[in-house]
Amino acid sequence: MTKTDAEKILQLLKKTFAMPKWAAAKKEPFETLIMTIISQNTAGRNTAKAFENLSKQFEIAPEALANAKTNQIEECLKVAGLYKNKAKAIKQISRIILERFHGTLRPILSMSFEEARKTLLQLPGVGPKTADVVLLFCSEKPTIPVDTHVNRVSKRLSLAPDNGDYEAVRESLQLLYTPKDYLAVHVLLISLGRKYCKARNPLCKQCPLNMLCPSSNKKPKKC
């Protein structure tokens, strides 16, 4: 895929989908971190419900969650998958942020991109996608989080290598686009994946990108 073709894809995506309000809204870093941990392997509706349960029970702040009982956090997260692991991670992370970073993620987000990412990745339960979401949405750091939609759609559009892992997909997208567009690339590929480029039955005939897409009307790639 050339940069010119990648740009055509982005322009078409921008014409097709409005940027959702949630993407532009200012996000509180600790809440974003907790929400993204809850969202791991969990559908959006259940993530929102689990976060709502947690918010009703506790202030979403490191001190409150570090001092909460693990079984109380578990109870709030039951609607989400892997809730026991997530509850444990949330409590441990809250304790670390409280003790090592004065109860805020700001010291981490003021580091360079590489250092901030490395520091976030050392927190329990934080993988590359979670770290990248916090860095992009809360600190405008130059990264493109690769969720399940971004991974699948990028590969079908040949924006990323077919067999690429998380880092290969992220790097490929970041080479094709400029940092000012990283947020739009992430958000609009998700919009495309939700509306047209669905995992099992992509709606290629209706898809606005079908003239540009090498996978149009082919059997869906397994990604």
Total site size for ligand SF4, rule CB under 6 A = 13
Output 103 or 208, the one with its CB closest to ligand SF4: 208
Tokens representing residue 46 in the block: 């259940």
Q: Report how far residue 140's alpha carbon sits from residue 130's, in angstroms, rounded to the nearest whole number.
A: 14
Judge contact between 153 and 197, C-beta under 8 A.
Answer: yes
Contact 209, 157 (CB under 8 A): yes
Map residues 98-137 to x or -, x wherever contact with ligand SF4 holds by CB under 6 A.
Answer: ----------------------------------------
Residues 20-49 touching ligand SF4, rule: CB under 6 A, are none
**Closer to ligand SF4 by Cβ: residue 168 or 204:** 204
Least separation in angstroms between residue 212's CB and ligand SF4 is 8
* Helices marked H in 67-165: 70-77, 83-100, 106-109, 113-121, 128-139, 148-156
176 torsion bin: left (phi>0), alpha (psi -120 to 50), beta (else)? alpha
Question: CB atoms < 10 A from the CB of 16, how many?
Answer: 15
**Residues 145-204 interacting with ligand SF4 (rule: CB under 6 A):** 156-157, 196-197, 202-204
> Applying CB under 6 A, does 213 fall inside the site for ligand SF4?
yes
Which tokens go with 4?
């010119």
Q: Given candidates 50, 209, 219, 222, which one binds ligand SF4 under the rule CB under 6 A?
A: 209
Least Cβ distance, residue 188 to ligand SF4 (angstroms): 12
Q: Interface residues with ligand SF4 (CB under 6 A)?
A: 156-157, 196-197, 202-204, 207, 209-210, 213, 215-216
